[in-house]
Every structure is written in C-alpha cells, then in structure tokens.
C-alpha cells in the first residue's frame, strides 16, 4: 500500500520535514533527540520495511554513532567531571563523553530523516514548489537526485554484461580486475555524458527556458491539506510555547544542566509529547489509512455476497 502521507500536497510534506529537521539539528536536548531518533526509525520502517532499516542501522549507523561518540572526548576536554587522564596528560571528562553521544545521535537521526525525505519528496514535488522561484537550481537538484539511482541501475546492467564475457571486476588477477574496473568506469562516464546530451536536447525540444512557458501539475491544495496544515501549525505553536518556557534548555559545558528531566514537570512532559506527536503524524496517517483500507476489504466481499444471494433468489 502506498504511503498515505506522500499523497498530501508537496507543501505539507516539505513543511513537515523542514520543521522536524530544524528542531532535530538546533535542539540538542536529550529527550528531543531521543524522540526524534525513535520517530525517524519508526517512519523509516513504515516506508522501507523493518528488515532493511535494521540492517542499515546496524551495519552503518551504529558503527558511525560509536566512532563519533568516541572521537569527541579525545579532542574535546571541556568539563568539570574528570574521569581519567590520557598518557599525554589530556583529561577525559564526563561532559565531553555525553556531548559526543549527543552529537552522534544528532548526526544519525538527521541521516535517517533525510532518507525518509528522499522517499517522500520526489523531484516532481521539488520542482513544483521551487520551479518558479529558483528554476535553474531546482532543475539541477532534481536531476542530481534522479541521476544517482539511475547511475546505480545502469552500473548494475553494465557490470552484468561485462561479467557475461568474463571482464568483470571479479575475474582475473589484481591487474586484470583493475583493468576491467577502469573499462566499466569508462563505459559509465560515456553513458552519463550521452545521457546528459539527450536530456538537454529533450528539454530544448520541449521549450524549456522560453518566456511564458507554463507547467502542468496535478497537485491541488484541498480541504484535507488545509486540515493537516492547521494541525501541524497548532502542534508547532504549542511546542514553541514549551520552548519559551525553558523546557528544552540544555547545557553540556562546563557542567551538565538539563531542564525538564529532574524533576519532570507537566509542562516539560507536554512539550516532549507535542514534539513526538508532530514527528509521528505521518505514521498516524498511514495507520489510519491502513485501518480504513482493511475495513473496506472486509465490507466489500460482504456486499458482494449479499448481491449474489439477492440475484440467486430473484432468478426464476
């Protein structure tokens, strides 16, 4: 089943990711980061499946998280809680370790959010939003996003073709493999240049760049989009109120000071809950759409059964 949130207007999709990524980057409160990371993983599982997400997180994200968390205390020695000293005399502080973990979590969850962004915000949506404002930049950006998966698919085709004639990078000794790799790279570069020329000729034939040229789009901002935008703005406004009350204040240097945790107040919990609700809005939309679809599948066969019974009774 198609992701229900992606069927909303591109403005809704883009606004959601802008808010989530902005808060995830500029707010390093541990609860905010934890909620953002958890929501990103859940939404990524909804879009890509839990097996692919877990494999990607364990093979790539988890090692990167550990490496970034370990690198920070080796170069950043700020903090008042000294745990031990290195051989060169530099101290390892608790604050630097905690801050390294926070930075690594921030980096990982931003990458996961961008993986969701690339699935929802297609090149057509990006051109629709920014085609009239920054036409050249939006076109280049959409072509780059489109080129990467197309380049990977073409590389696989060429590699399979070379493998059939015994000229793949897995055939022969090291020198032969290197030569085969250079050959495949040369083929790919030639294909990329030829594809760029064909794309330029196609765009020129379709009148790109001419004055007065219009663009067709199927996107319409309807009542459903207005309701979703109102909900997003309401949750964002409540979160801003919580931020103004100091519920997201955090300090890691020279001493760790985290507001809203010890003790947890009603307003701090409400602020974190509002942010979690905002992050999980696409998951909720997909869940409601799935339940509605399952209900329809259960009702339709029952109606068909009653119609067949009615036809059989009325038949002579």
pLDDT value at 148 more than 80? no
Mean pLDDT in the chain? Answer: 80
The model scores a pTM over 0.95: no
Nearest in space to 13 (alpha carbons), one of 4, 5, 2: 5
Q: What is the token pair recorded at 5?
A: 């949130």
Give bridge partners of residue 51 from the DSSP assignment: none
pLDDT in tens, 159-175: 888 888 887 777 778 88
Residues paired with residue 175 on neighbouring β-strands, in sequence order: none
For the chain, the maximum distance between any two Cα atoms, rounded to a whole number of angstroms, is 100
- Residue ranges with strand state E in 156-276: 250-251, 257-258
Q: How far apart are CA 142 and CA 128, in angstroms?
A: 11
Q: What is the pLDDT of residue 311?
A: 47
Q: Which of 7-11, 67-71, 77-81 has the lowest mean pLDDT?
A: 77-81
pLDDT of residue 227: 92
Find the angle CA(13)-CA(114)-CA(110) to the nearest 5 degrees. 115
The pLDDT of 30-34, averaged and rounded, is 90
Q: Provide the b/e sequence for 26-42 (b: ≥16 CB within 10 Å).
A: ebbbbbbbebbbebbbb
Report residue 142: phi and psi, to 5°.
-65, -35
pLDDT at residue 302, as a whole number:
55
Tokens representing 188 are: 């790919």
In three-state secondary structure terms, 218 is: coil
Per-residue pLDDT band for 85 (boundaries 50, 70, 90) equals confident
pLDDT band at 71 (very low <50, low <70, confident <90, very high): confident
Does the pLDDT at position 304 exceed 60?
Answer: no
Structure-block tokens of residue 243: 């931020």
- Residue 285 sits at the vertex; the CA angle it makes with 281 and 290, to the nearest 5 degrees, is 145
CB atoms within 10 A of CB 285: 17
DSSP 214: -
Q: What is the pLDDT of residue 316?
A: 46
Strand partners, 84: 92
Q: What is the mean pLDDT of residues 101-124?
A: 85
* Statement: residue 128 has pLDDT above 90: no
> What Cα–Cα distance (Å) separates residue 51 from each residue in 46, 57, 115, 158, 285?
11, 10, 15, 28, 22
Instruction: Please tell me the total number of residues recorded for the chain in this structure.
Output: 316
Residues 185-202 pLDDT 10s: 888 888 888 887 887 787
Band (pLDDT 50/70/90 cuts) for residue 264 is confident
Among candidate residues 238, 231, 229, 228, the one with its CA nearest the CA of residue 274? 238
Helices 30-48 and 266-279: crossing angle, nearest 10°? 20
Q: What is the pLDDT at residue 273?
A: 94
In the predicted structure, residue 262 carries a pLDDT above the cut 70: yes
Within 8 A by CB and 6+ apart from 26, the residues are none
pLDDT, tens digit, for every residue of 193-229?
888 788 778 777 777 666 666 666 677 888 999 999 9
> Which one, of 292, 290, 297, lies nearest residue 46 by Cα?
290
pLDDT given for residue 135 in this prediction: 64
Three-class SS of residue 224?
Answer: helix
The pLDDT, as a whole number, for residue 177 is 82
- Rounded to an integer, the average pLDDT of 101-126 is 85
* pLDDT given at position 58: 67
pLDDT band at 182 (very low <50, low <70, confident <90, very high): confident
Say if CB 234 and CB 6 are below 8 A apart.
no
Q: Please identify which residue in the block is written with the tokens 């240097």.
A: 253
Look at residues 245, 238, 309 and name the one whose alpha carbon lies nearest to residue 277: 238
Give the C-alpha separation, 275 to 238, whole Å. Answer: 9
Kindly report whether the peptide bond that precedes residue 254 is cis, defined as omega within 30 degrees of 0: yes
């Amino acid at each position: 089943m198609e992701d229900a949130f992606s069927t909303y207007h591109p403005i809704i999709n883009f606004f959601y990711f802008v808010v989530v990524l902005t808060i995830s980057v500029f707010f390093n409160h541990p609860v905010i980061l934890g909620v953002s990371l958890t929501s990103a993983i859940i939404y990524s599982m909804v879009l890509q499946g839990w097996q692919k997400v877990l494999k990607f997180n364990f093979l790539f994200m988890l090692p990167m998280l550990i490496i970034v968390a370990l690198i920070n205390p080796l170069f950043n020695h700020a903090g008042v809680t000294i745990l031990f000293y290195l051989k060169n005399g530099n101290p390892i502080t608790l604050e630097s370790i905690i801050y390294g973990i926070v930075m690594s979590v921030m980096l990982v969850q931003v990458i996961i959010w961008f993986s969701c962004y690339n699935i929802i915000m297609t090149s057509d949506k990006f051109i629709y939003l920014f085609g009239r404002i920054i036409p050249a930049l939006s076109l280049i950006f959409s072509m780059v996003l489109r080129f990467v998966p197309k380049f990977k698919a073409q590389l696989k085709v060429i590699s399979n073709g070379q493998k059939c004639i015994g000229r793949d990078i897995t055939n022969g000794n090291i020198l032969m493999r290197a030569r085969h790799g250079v050959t495949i790279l040369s083929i790919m570069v030639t294909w990329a240049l030829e594809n760029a020329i064909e794309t330029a000729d196609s765009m020129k034939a379709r009148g790109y760049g001419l004055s007065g040229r219009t663009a067709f789009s199927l996107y319409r901002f309807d009542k459903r989009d207005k309701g979703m935008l109102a909900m997003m703005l309401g949750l964002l406004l409540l979160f801003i109120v919580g931020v103004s009350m100091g519920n997201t204040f955090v300090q890691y240097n020279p001493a760790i000071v985290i507001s809203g945790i010890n003790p947890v107040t009603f307003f701090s919990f409400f602020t974190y809950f509002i942010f979690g609700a905002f992050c999980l809005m696409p998951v909720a939309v997909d869940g409601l759409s799935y339940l509605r679809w399952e209900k329809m599948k259960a009702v339709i066969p029952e109606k068909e059964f009653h119609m067949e019974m009615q036809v059989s009774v009325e038949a002579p």
